[in-house]
Amino acid sequence: MRIGINASFVRKPNTGIGQVTINFLKELAKQKTDHDFILYLEEDLPKNFDLPDNFRKRFFLPAYRRDDLIRKIWWEKYLLPKKIRDDDCDIFISLYQSATIVDEPAWHIMIVHDIIPKLFPEYLNNLRKKIYWQLTEDAIKNADKIVAVSKRTEKDLIQHLGLDGERITISYNDVDEIYKREISPEKEQEVLQKYKLKPGYIYNGGGLEVRKNTEGLIRAYKFLLEKNKNECFVHELPKLAISGKLLPQLAPLATDVEKLVKELNLTQHVLLLDFVPQEDLPALYKNAVVFIYPSFYEGFGLPVLEAMNVGTPAITSKVSSLPEVGGDGVLYCDPDDIKDMAMVMKNVLLNKDLRKTLAHRGKERAKNFNWDKFVKKILNLIQNETTA
């Protein structure tokens, strides 16, 4: 079979979909198959990305080169389907929800990570975004097979897009291999010095979008700080370290953490780290006393699984897909209840045995997720289609 793959997100390795794309391709390259694969790209792969002989690359761009939604629509909706036809692909795999509709007889598998714009209309705050999402929604409905990365996403597809559950398969992705490696003491020290941190902070990362609930966390931390002044349950409350870059183009979808921290008089207690590259994240997780991710909604929840792999005790929301990821390896809080969030943090901070238990359970739970399972699930779909 000749199989085409939309691998355009390899150019954005610091995004969740970028991580899925890169690790999917790495694992796929290890599999022994008789298929021929064509990777469709907007930029070439990194130089150290070795591919077997049965992989070919096609990288191309429209005449309009600015990296925005106009280019995205042009590339996914018009240029890519033509390339698929020209290359006579039997099967096409979209590694994320996109605007691509594949012409018959090619069979289209689309991985859907979430349908956030459908659930949170505030993300569609201009005409271009509305057009792109409508094209994407049409393409999701048109795909022959959907791979949802969680049961939550599967339910959303059925409930909000009216998809037949028979067309949907669930396959959990994994994290980048960097979170599974041992971290050298030298690397830990380098990262701590870089961000002016001392071990034992409370860590939050994964983005500053409003739905990630960073504001709720900061307010819960403020509540805990005031409570500690009155009750002195710890000598000094650990500082809260938050990573993530406030991008102007995301306004008003992102929380202005700098403004909020100043308003709450927390500048001495909350450390804003700005953007943190992936190579620094494992050490950042490892040196935290606890990682907290009180998101209102996730299609999967990569940051929680990253923390679990590193062995950092984690707290997350008891909503959307997050319990699917965390299982019994994390503690849960109500993202709408600041006091509940604060009390769960307090319990972890005061209980060393609990932290050890969470670190162990998290690592064990993380073993349920791996790229080999993820890739083989998709190869099995292809096998079933070709033998049907």
Q: How confident is the model at residue 32 (pLDDT cuts 50, 70, 90)?
A: confident
- Give the torsion through C-alpha atoms of 102, 107, 112, 118, to 10 deg: 50
Write down the pLDDT at residue 249. 63
Q: How confident is the model at residue 232 (pLDDT cuts 50, 70, 90)?
A: confident
Q: How confident is the model at residue 331 (pLDDT cuts 50, 70, 90)?
A: very high
Asked if residues 16 and 97 have their Cβ atoms less than 8 Å apart, the reply is: no
End-to-end Cα, the chain, rounded Å: 14
Task: Give ∠ CA 281-275-14 in degrees, rounded to 5.
Answer: 65
Q: From 3.30.70.100, 3.40.50.720, 3.40.50.300, 3.40.50.2000, which CATH number describes the 2-174+370-387 domain?
A: 3.40.50.2000
Asked if residues 43 and 10 have their Cβ atoms less than 8 Å apart, the reply is: yes
pLDDT tens for 50-62 read 899 999 999 999 9
In the predicted structure, residue 386 carries a pLDDT above the cut 90: no
Q: Which amino acid is at 363?
A: K
Write down the pLDDT at residue 62. 92
pLDDT tens for 85-116 read 999 999 999 999 999 999 989 999 999 999 99
Asked if residues 238 and 202 have their Cβ atoms less than 8 Å apart, the reply is: yes
Which tokens go with 255? 């929380």
Write down the pLDDT at residue 14. 86
d(CA 90, CA 108): 9
Least confident of 77-86, 140-149, 303-312, 377-386: 377-386
- The string of DSSP letters for 111-143 reads EE---HHHH-GGG--SHHHHHHHHHHHHHHHH-
In terms of Cβ atoms closer than 10 Å to its own Cβ (0-12, 13-18, 19+), residue 268 is: exposed
pLDDT tens for 181-224 read 999 999 999 999 999 999 999 999 999 999 999 999 999 999 99
CA 321 to chain centroid: 12
pLDDT (mean) for 253-259: 93
| Averaged pLDDT score across all residues of the chain | 95
d(CA 113, CA 110): 10
Q: How confident is the model at residue 121 (pLDDT cuts 50, 70, 90)?
A: very high
Fold of 177-366: Rossmann fold (3.40.50)
Whose CA is closest to 133, among 106, 115, 151, 148? 115
- Give the torsion through C-alpha atoms of 83, 85, 87, 90, to 10 deg: 130
In the predicted structure, residue 250 carries a pLDDT above the cut 70: no
pLDDT tens for 161-188 read 999 999 999 999 999 999 999 999 999 9
Name the strand (E) or helix (H) holding 201. Answer: strand 201-204
Write down the pLDDT at residue 47. 82
CATH 3.40.50.2000 in the chain is located at 2-174+370-387, 177-366
In the predicted structure, residue 248 carries a pLDDT above the cut 70: no
In the predicted structure, residue 48 carries a pLDDT above the cut 90: no
Write down the pLDDT at residue 251. 66
Write down the pLDDT at residue 387. 75
- The Cα-based distances of 62 to 46, 70, 73, 85, 312 in angstroms read 21, 10, 10, 17, 44
Which tokens go with 59? 């990288």
pLDDT (mean) for 261-275: 97
Please report, rounded to a whole number, the percentage of residues in the chain having pLDDT higher than 90. Answer: 89
Whose CA is closest to 302, among 4, 1, 22? 22
DSSP alpha helices (H): ranges in the chain?
16-30, 69-73, 80-86, 116-119, 127-142, 151-161, 185-194, 214-231, 257-263, 281-286, 302-310, 322-326, 338-350, 352-366, 371-387
